[in-house]
Structure 1
Amino acid sequence: MALTHDSFRPGQVWLDTEGERIQAHGGSLFFENNTFYWYGENKEKTTPGSGIWHWGVRAYSSTDLYNWKNLGLIIPPVLDDESSPLHPAQKMDRPHILFNEATGKYVCWLKVMGAGSHDTQRSTVLSSDSLLGPYEIVHAGLEPLGMSAGDFDLVVDPDTKKAYYYFEKVHTDLICADLTDDYTDVTGTFSGHFPQPGPPFTREAPAHFARGGVHYLITSGSTGYFPNFSEVASAPDYHGPWTTLGDAHPTDPSGTSFRSQISCIFKHPHKQDLYIAMADRWLPQLPNDMPNVFDSVAAMAQGAPRPEMTPEQAASMGAIMAAGMGENTAIADYVWLPIRFDGEHPIILWRDEWSLDEFEDSSDIITSSVAESAR
C-alpha cells in the first residue's frame, strides 16, 4: 500500500511506498531528469550475530523527497566469493556516485574495511552506463596515494567538472585528493587537513558543500556508531586552508549531533538557498541521557578517569553492549534537517517536523539531466 508523506519527521521511522523501512544508509542524493534518487548501504540483514555488514547498495526514487519508491539493489552483494569487496562480511560503507560528462559514465566509490581489522581500509571503484547499474569493478583494494582511506565524500566542481575526493586517512587526518579526468583514480595531487593524534579526535564522515564561493566541510569524531558532536569548517578553495567554525549543532546539549552522523549535504535544485543535511541515526535504541561517548573517551585519552554513570545509565549501556546492539543497524533511522546560516556560519537546528513549503522557490530552477550538486 502506498504511503503519502507531506513533511520530514527527523528521527522517526521512515517507510517507502511499499511500507518497508528505507535502507539507504551512509548515502547520498542524486538529481537527474527531475527525479531525486537516494542510494546507500542496504542494512536490512545487519542484525546482531548475523555476520552481515551490508546487503549491497539500494536505491530509491522520488519526485518530492518525502515519498520514496524502492528501485532495488543497484550494486548487489557478491555471495560466492568471500574475498570480493562486495561480500557481505567485507564491511562496505558509504557509496558515492558521480556522473562524468566527458565519458558518459557513472562512477561509484566504496569504502571497504575488510573482514578483519579496520586499521587498513581500502577503496573499490565501479562504473556503469546507468545510475541504476549494472556496475562493474574498475579498481579493488585501492589504497589512494598509498594511504588507508576511510570515510569519504566526492564532489565535482560545477564549472570545471574537476572532481575531488575527501577521505579520512585512517586515524590521522583528512585528505583532499584530485581525481583523474575519468574519476576512477587519484592524480597524486593532494593536501592534508585537521591532523589529530587518533580516535576519537580524528575527523571522519566528511560532507562537503559550497555556498556563495565558500567551501564547507562538516565532519564527525571517530567513535564508531556511537554519536558525537559535529564540526564545521570553511575554506576559500577545495584544498583549503580550512578554518574551524565549531559545532554545526550548537543547540544540542548532548553534544551528539542530535544522536546522528551526517553523510551528505544536498542543495535542493528548486528551492532558494536550501541545503539539507542527511544524517543516519545509527543506534536509535541508545538512551537519550547516555553519557557523551566522545567526551568520555577524549577525557580518558588525556589521563582523566572514566566519567561516573548512574546505575540506570550503566545498566542501559551494559545491556546495549552485551546484546551486540552496536551492529544492529537494520533498524537505523534518518535525521534530515535544513541548514540555516548565521552570516557564513552553517547551523543545524532541531525540528520535530518540517516541509519544503517553508522555503522559497528558486528563481533559477535546474532542469538539466544532472543537477549541479549531483553526487
Structure 2
Amino acid sequence: MSGKKYLIRVASAVVFGLLTSSAIADLKPIESGKDWLDTNGKLINAHGGTLFQAEETYYWIGQDRTQNSNLFNALNCYSSNDLTTWTFENQVMTSKRNTELPSDVIIARPKVIYNQLTDSFVMWFKYRRPGGIEPNMRAGVASSETPCGDYHVESVFFPTADRVAHYAGDNALYADENGKGYYVLSSIGELKDGEMGVLTEGQIMRRLKIFEMTPDFRNIQKLVYDFPVETVHKEQREAPGIVKMGDTYILFSSGTMAWRPNQQKYSTAPAMTGPWSIWKNIGDETAYGSQTAFIIPVVGDQKTTYIYAADRHEADNLIDSRYVWLPIQKGKNGELRLQWIDQWTMDTETGEWLITQ
C-alpha cells in the first residue's frame, strides 16, 4: 500500500434550495442532456457509474460505451475540482488488461468506496452474460491503491450471507461515519444450495436488499434490511443511489423498466438498518428521461447541496447516452423535489448553486 490515508469527505449538514450568490454566475454551467466534453474535447464516457471525493478532488468512474455496445470494453475514470471541468485520467479496467473478465460479458454499475483499514479504493460491479438468467448475474470486486489507478479484480461471485446466495444486479455502496460499509443490491432472487441458477421463489421477483459488508469491504457478512416485495413489475426497484442528508438516510431508485425512463422514487430511514419509509415519487414520471446513477453531496464552506446524478440511456444507440444532473430541493412539507433546469451553476467551494438561465 502507498501508506497515504485519503481524506474522504462526508456530508453531515443538509441545506436545500436556490441560492442567489452572484459570485457563482460566472462559473461553467451544468446543462443536462447536452454533450459533456472532457479537457481533451472528447465525450465523457462514464455511464452507470460512481462519483466520490478524495482530498479536494472529485473522481467519476463509469462504463465506456465508445464501441456503441453494453459489452465490456473499459471502465473510465475522470477527475475534477469543480464538477464541470473533467480530465480523463485512466481506463481503470479494460477487457484486454483484465483477462478474467471476458469481453462478451456485461461489466456495469461500477461503484467505488474507500476502505481505511486497507488504505485502498474498493470497487463493486455487476457481472452478467447477456441473454437469460443463467447463473452469471454475479458481483465483482476489484481494488486500487489510488482513485484512478488500475483496478485489479479480486473475485467474481454470488454475494452470500447466512448461507443464502443472491443474484447480483444493480448496486450502491455506502460507508457510514462509524466505519461500517453497506452494499445495496437489486436482486432478482436467491439461489438454492447446490443449484446455482434456480430461483427459490420460482420466478423473477426483483427486490432491494441492504447488506453490511466485511470490515475490508470485499464481501458481505449479513443482511440488515430486506425491502418488501412489490408484486407489480414496474414497482420493483433497481438502480439504487444512497446518501445521508443530516441525520436521515435517503435511498433513490428506479422502477425495473430496463432503460425506459420511468418514475424515480426515494425512501428515508434513521439508519441503514431501517426502518425505511414507503417509496415517494420524485421528479416527473420519467425523471426527465433519466435513471438514477448516484447522488453527489457537495460539502461547501457555507452550504451543503445534494445532486441527483442520472443516466439518460439511449438503448438503440448507446453511444448517444447522456447525463442528467439536477440539484435536489426540499419542499414546504419536507418532501424532496426535482425540477428541470436547463442551465445551472454549482460552486463546490461554498456549496451554493444558482439557476443561470
- Distance of aligned partners of 1:224 and 1:44 in 2 relative to their CA distance in 1, 3 Å threshold: same
Q: Distance in 2 between matches of 1:174 and 1:260?
A: 20
Instruction: Give the aligned residue type for 1:92.
Output: I
> 1:232 and 1:80, CA in 2 relative to 1: closer, same or farther beyond 3 A?
closer
**What amino acid sits opposite 1:61 in the alignment?**
S
Does residue 332 (structure 1) correspond to residue 321 (structure 2)? The answer is: yes
- C-alpha root-mean-square deviation of aligned residues, in Å? 2.2
SS in structure 1 opposite 2:344?
A: coil
CA 331–362 in structure 1, closer or farther in 2 if over 3 Å, else same: closer
In the alignment, is the contact (CA less than 8 A) between 1:60 and 1:68 conserved in 2?
yes
SS of 1:175's equivalent in the other structure is: strand
- The Cα shift of 1:199 comes to 3.1
Per-residue deviation at 1:331?
Answer: 1.3
1:149 aligned to which of 168, 186, 205: 168
The equivalent residue for 2:128 is 113
Q: Supply the distance in 1 between the matched residues of 2:210 and 2:321 (Cα, whole angstroms).
A: 29
Q: What does residue range 282-361 of structure 1 map to in structure 2 within 5 Å? A: 282-283=313-314, 326-342=315-331, 343-357=333-347, 361=350
User: 1:126-159: per-residue Cα shift (whole Å, max 9, x none)?
Assistant: 122222222222211333330112111000002x
2:213 aligns with: 179
**Larger strand percent:** 2
**Aligned residue among 207, 219, 224 for 2:258:** 224
Shift of 1:165: 0.6
User: After the TM superposition, which parts of structure 1 deviate over 3 Å for at least 4 consecutive aligned residues?
Assistant: 78-81
Cα deviation 1:147-193 (Å, max 9, x = unaligned): 112111000002x1100011112233110000000000011233210
Q: Give the conservation status (yes or no) of the 8 Å contact 1:268–1:274.
A: yes
TM-score for the superposition, normalised by structure 1: 0.76
Partner letter of residue 173 of structure 1? R
More helix per residue: 1 or 2? 1
Alignment partners' CA distance in 1, 2:316 and 2:237: 21
1:288 matched residue in structure 2: none
1:231 touches 1:244 (CA, 8 Å); kept in 2?
Answer: no
Which residue pairs with 2:286 in the alignment?
256
Report % sequence identity.
28
Q: In 1, Cα distance between the equivalents of 2:349 and 2:334?
A: 19
Q: Residue 113 of structure 2 is aligned with which of 86, 98, 104?
A: 98
* Separation in structure 1 between the aligned mates of residue 68 and residue 103 of structure 2, nearest angstrom: 9
Query: Is the Cα–Cα contact under 8 Å of residues 205 and 220 in structure 1 kept in the other structure?
Result: yes
Shift of 1:123: 0.1
Alpha carbons of structure 1 residues 127 and 256: separation in structure 2 relative to 1, 3 Å: same
Q: For the residues of structure 2 that align with 1:245 and 1:176, how far apart are their CA atoms?
A: 16
Distance 1:79 1:126, change over 3 A: closer
1:268 is matched with 298
- Whether the 8 Å CA contact 2:32–2:324 is kept in 1: the answer is yes
Q: 2:305 touches 2:351 (CA, 8 Å); kept in 1?
A: no
For 1:80 and 1:57, how far apart are their aligned partners in 2? 11
Alpha-carbon distance between aligned partners in 2 of 1:66 and 1:360, rounded to the nearest angstrom: 13
- Give the equivalent residue in structure 2 for 1:56: 74
Aligned residues: 305
Q: CA deviation at 1:21?
A: 0.8
8 Å contact kept, 1:79–1:87: no
Deviation for aligned residue 1:5: 7.3
Please report how far the alpha carbon of residue 119 of structure 1 lies from its aligned counterpart in structure 2 after TM superposition.
6.0
1:277 counterpart = 2:293: no
Residue matched to 2:13: none
Corresponding residue for 1:208? Answer: 242
Uncovered stretches (5+) of structure 1, i.e. residues with no partner: 284-325, 364-375
* TM-score (structure 2 length as normaliser): 0.80
1:232–1:176 CA distance, 2 compared to 1 (3 A): same
Query: Post-superposition shift, 1:46?
Result: 2.3
CA distance in 2, matches of 1:256, 1:240: 27
Equivalent residue number for residue 47 of structure 2: 25
* Corresponding residue for residue 65 of structure 1: 83
Structure 1 residues 262 and 155, CA gap change in structure 2 (3 angstroms):
same
1:12 to 34, 39, 46: 34
Cα deviation, residue 248, structure 1: 1.0
Contact 2:159–2:219 (8 Å) recurs in 1 = no
Task: Give the 3 Å change call, closer, same or farther, for CA 245–72 of structure 1 in structure 2.
Answer: same
